[in-house]
């Protein structure tokens, strides 16, 4: 029996960032669960961890099993592939 790999997904964001809001809205609209959210405006230690993981303090950033993906478009492309959806079917 093949064992499924468990994905670890973390989203680093700032609530005032429109790009971050777009990613969060997309996640909510597409029913993606099991994402740990880190609000960088209230969790400064998470900002330091983000730099350790991805090498830069930039948001939005999705971390998947230690791999940092920066920017709303790249994150949405990654999540779309993860869900197996066609990119042209995405409604923001």
pLDDT in tens, 8-40: 899 999 999 999 999 999 999 999 888 999 999
Q: Residue 6's pLDDT is what?
A: 54
Structure tokens at 49: 């961890």
Is 9-89 assigned to CATH 3.40.30.10? yes
pLDDT in tens, 42-73: 999 999 999 999 999 999 999 999 999 999 99
- The pTM score is 0.84
What is the residue extent of each domain of the chain? 9-89
């Amino acid at each position: 029996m093949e064992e499924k790999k468990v994905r670890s997904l973390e989203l680093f964001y700032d609530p005032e960032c429109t790009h971050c809001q777009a990613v969060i809205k997309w996640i909510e609209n597409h029913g993606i669960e099991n994402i740990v959210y880190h609000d960088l405006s209230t969790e400064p230690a998470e900002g330091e961890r983000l730099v350790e993981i991805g090498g830069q303090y930039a948001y939005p950033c999705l971390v998947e099993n230690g791999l940092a993906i920066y920017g709303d478009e790249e994150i949405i492309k990654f999540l779309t592939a993860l869900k197996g959806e066609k990119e042209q079917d995405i409604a923001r």
